[in-house]
Structure 1
Amino acid sequence: MKKASSAYSQLTANDIDRIVEMGWEDRTPFEAIELQFGLNEAAVIELMRQQMKPSSFRMWRKRMQGRSTKHASLRSAAVTRFKCSRQRSISMNKISKR
């Protein structure tokens, strides 16, 4: 991970890791990140740009363009939660390696 700028100095390394993880998740809207960490969509994009390799950032931005699940206002009214029902509980931000 790259060092975060002073604008994000109040965030811990674990917070930054979780924000990047939530940014990659298709079903986690930017509004959930803002609610939890206080970063709006533009701030999340800036943080992702800082934390990722340029090619990975371009791939992520291409995936996020027009994705309705990343914006609560574009989601179907039937979706009422941020977490996928198939998602396992993750403790300490550890993801099992397969």
Structure 2
Amino acid sequence: MKKEKTLSVEEIDRVIEMAWEDRTPFDAIESQFGLPEKEVIKLMRKNMKESSFKMWRKRVQGRSTKHRSKSNPETDRFKSDMQRSISGNKISKR
């Protein structure tokens, strides 16, 4: 039996936020939180209203920006405008 990863409320909120972002691939969520795509889907289903979950699934299913293997290799990485406040990084890389 696989042990389910325990996330804090803040981490769950961040995973949901990243999953909603069109340009954040599932690989980024997995590398940051250790949740593969199937686990992200389960988390979203558990923590969202059914109608919101269905709308999200319809939007992201097959979306190339959510799957690195399907995305344009010339598009490197997307960084959210909120990244500095989320990661606590005080150094701007602009």
Q: TM-score range, shorter-chain basis?
A: 0.7 to 0.9
- TM-score, L = length of structure 2: 0.81
- Count residues in correspondence: 85
Match of 2:23 among 18, 22, 27: 27
The corresponding residue for 2:50 is: 54
- TM-score, L = length of structure 1: 0.78
User: Aligned partners of 1:31 and 1:92: how far apart in 2?
Assistant: 18
User: Aligned partners of 2:39 and 2:85: how far apart in 1?
Assistant: 25
Q: Which moved more, 1:49-58 or 1:72-81?
A: 72-81
How far is the alpha carbon of 1:43 from its aligned partner? 0.1
User: Aligned partners of 2:25 and 2:36: how far apart in 1?
Assistant: 11
Measured at CA, do residues 92 and 29 of structure 1 come closer, stay the same or move farther in structure 2, by a change above 3 Å?
closer
Indicate whether 1:91 and 2:91 are aligned.
no
5+ residue gaps, structure 1, are 1-5, 94-98
Q: Which moved more, 1:74-83 or 1:25-34?
A: 74-83
5+ residue gaps, structure 2, are 88-94
Relative contact order higher in (CA < 8 Å, ≥ 6 apart): 1
CA RMSD across the alignment: 1.9
Alignment of 1:56-75 (within 5 A): 56-75=52-71
Runs of 4+ residues over 4 Å off in structure 1: none
Letter in 1 for 2:38: A
Percent identity between matched residues is 56
How far is the alpha carbon of 1:79 from its aligned partner? 1.0
